Amino acid sequence: MSWAVVARKDFEDAIRSRGLIALTVLFVLFCGGMAYLYTIVGVNDSQAANVIGFVTFLFQPAAFLVPIIGLVVGYKAIAGERESGSIKLLLGLPHTRQDVVAGKVVGRAAVVTVSILVGFLVGAVVVLALYGSFSVTNFALFTLLTVILALAFVSVGVGISAATGSTNRAVIGIIAFFVLFRALWGEIPKAINYLLNGTYGFPNSTPEWLYLFRRLNPSNAYQGAVSQWLFDNSILQALFGGDVPFALSPWVALAILFAWILLPAGVGYLAFERADL
């Protein structure tokens, strides 16, 4: 369990550096502020006392903020230690490079998870205090999916950190990743169609594979899982005539998120294993 030693040290370092406290305060302010804002804008809404209404209000901002935090928390995990030279001391102990990557992912993921749980708990308390009713099950599912999204982006951040030799390159990597999946992902199929057929986009009809391609984006997979499990499938059912393909089920979206937890860290480890320190 050498990776657990690395993870525990990483978590303890976050406590000593007050990074955990700062991140927790950020999530408390975010969730508490969003909960209070929801009570203002939703006070005359029929969903005002419904946790689904609050989740509807919260999950789009969360889908934007959580990936940024996950990437920022992860990008210095290994690149920073390689830059300072402390990685040689760490590997001088009975830790393999695999232990270091796995431990960094788990340690940084624990920091983000604690912060999200505390922040979302504050948000739930605010809504409960103001409305007096709350569906714990629905909000717990939403919180769990948000934690899984955070773990995916922490893994991406650590994977990029493991594959680069400096924090500057790691920063470039996480910015490029964020821009690709936040701004450009939906344009890739359109560009491919233009190269193949001379038409940008799909003016006549949207092919079924395009919906799955969009969902390969971890943020889209998260939004799909939240929407289908906590809201309804009416939009997809209308698009597909009632029967939603299994590839667009929330279970597949969840599997995509877990793949994003495992694969980036694995690719980063392979690059780190071959790196000359």
Report angle CA 214, 157, 167 to the nearest 5 degrees.
Answer: 135
- Structurally, how many domains does the chain consist of? 1
The pLDDT, as a whole number, for residue 46 is 46
Cα pseudo-dihedral 228, 231, 235, 238, rounded to 10:
90
CA distance linking residue 180 with residue 102, whole number of Å:
25
Cα pseudo-dihedral 124, 128, 130, 132, rounded to 10:
170
How crowded is residue 145: how many other Cβ atoms within 10 Å of its Cβ? 24
Q: Quick check: helix, strand or coil at residue 111?
A: helix
Task: Quote the pTM value.
Answer: 0.91
Q: Which letter does DSSP use for residue 85 in this model? A: T
Distance of CA 229 to the CA centre of its chain: 18
The pLDDT, as a whole number, for residue 226 is 92
CA distance linking residue 37 with residue 47, whole number of Å:
14
Q: Which of 12, 23, 155 is nearest to 77 (CA)?
A: 155
Angle between the 250-274 and 97-131 helix axes, to the nearest 10 degrees? 150
pLDDT tens digits along 80-130: 888 888 888 887 778 888 989 999 999 999 999 999 999 998 888 887 777
CA distance linking residue 162 with residue 267, whole number of Å:
9
Residues in the chain, pLDDT under 50: 44, 46-48
Longest dimension (CA), the chain: 62
The pLDDT, as a whole number, for residue 48 is 45
Q: Which two tokens stand for residue 259?
A: 């793949």
Name the residue range of residue 21's domain. 2-274
